[in-house]
Amino acid sequence: MSVVTISRQLGSIGDLVARRSAELLEYEWVDKDLITEVAKEANVPESEVEKFNEQSQSAVKRFVHGLITPSQSVPVPPAMFWGLEFPYEVSAALLADDAALNEERHLLDQRDYLKFLQATVNCLYKRDRTIIVGRGGQAILGELPDTIHVRTVAPLETRVKVVMERRRIETKKEAEEVVLGSAKRRSAYIKDNYGIDWDDYTNYHLTINTGKTSEEMAARLIEQAARHVDTGESGT
């Protein structure tokens, strides 16, 4: 079975493509928000954790939760073996890449957060049948077998339009600043932490221009690529 990573330009609807690909392949899909949500929930009282377990319906969410949360049978969370201190608290600065929030105090600093994130992604890789959206999945898993690294791109005008609609931004100028700012931060994040060029097409198996393909077509391309890996026809 394969694992797909999707790196996307803001406004290239990579998240929607990921969800549709997961539906077609019957894979789980994981993005930054889910990993962050679980990390936050690891810092709540045991009674609340029990409620979380009762309410959770996502198998992959339960899986990630189990990586970092103590249980009655295993009082020490597996994350302790990664050298992280428990409990964890992920700051808004790490989630939003917002320089203005960098002074906010948090228990899980940048280096530990990266260690946590990398370990989580590698555990998801071993679990397989998963689509991982963003957070440098293509760099963390790199040349590992049975992986497909995808990049979704789109013309600037298209991305600006999408961001205006999805974030309810009124002016093109403001939306363009958001799009370009996001690209700059994501590129720097990948370069600083993994030493690779976010825009280098050689880091990906597929680069899909969603300005010229529909969400469905993009998802179908990923589905076909993943099925070829599953049958041993990837050639990698």
Give 70's pLDDT tier (boundaries 50, 70, 90). low
Please tell me the predicted confidence (pLDDT) of residue 152. Answer: 97
Do 56 and 78 sit in the same domain of this protein? yes
pLDDT tens, position by position, 152-209: 999 999 999 999 999 999 999 999 999 999 999 889 889 988 999 999 999 999 999 9
Across the range 68-93, mean pLDDT stands at 49
Do 144 and 195 sit in the same domain of this protein? yes
pTM metric for this prediction: 0.75
- CA-to-CA dists, residue 220 to 23, 24, 25, 146, 154, angstroms: 10, 8, 9, 18, 17
**Tokens 């600083």 belong to residue:** 192
Domain limits at 113? Answer: 31-128
CATH number (domain holding residue 185)? 3.40.50.300
Final residue before a domain boundary, out of 94, 128, 162? 128
Do 61 and 18 sit in the same domain of this protein? no
Which sign, positive or negative, has the C-alpha torsion 197, 194, 204, 39? Answer: negative
Do 135 and 216 sit in the same domain of this protein? yes
- Nearest of 184, 193, 211 to residue 138 by alpha carbon: 193
- Nearest of 94, 84, 34, 22 to residue 63 by alpha carbon: 34
Please tell me the predicted confidence (pLDDT) of residue 106. Answer: 47
Question: Residue 204: CB partners within 8 Å, gap ≥ 6?
Answer: 7, 138, 149, 150, 151
Tally of structural domains, the chain: 2
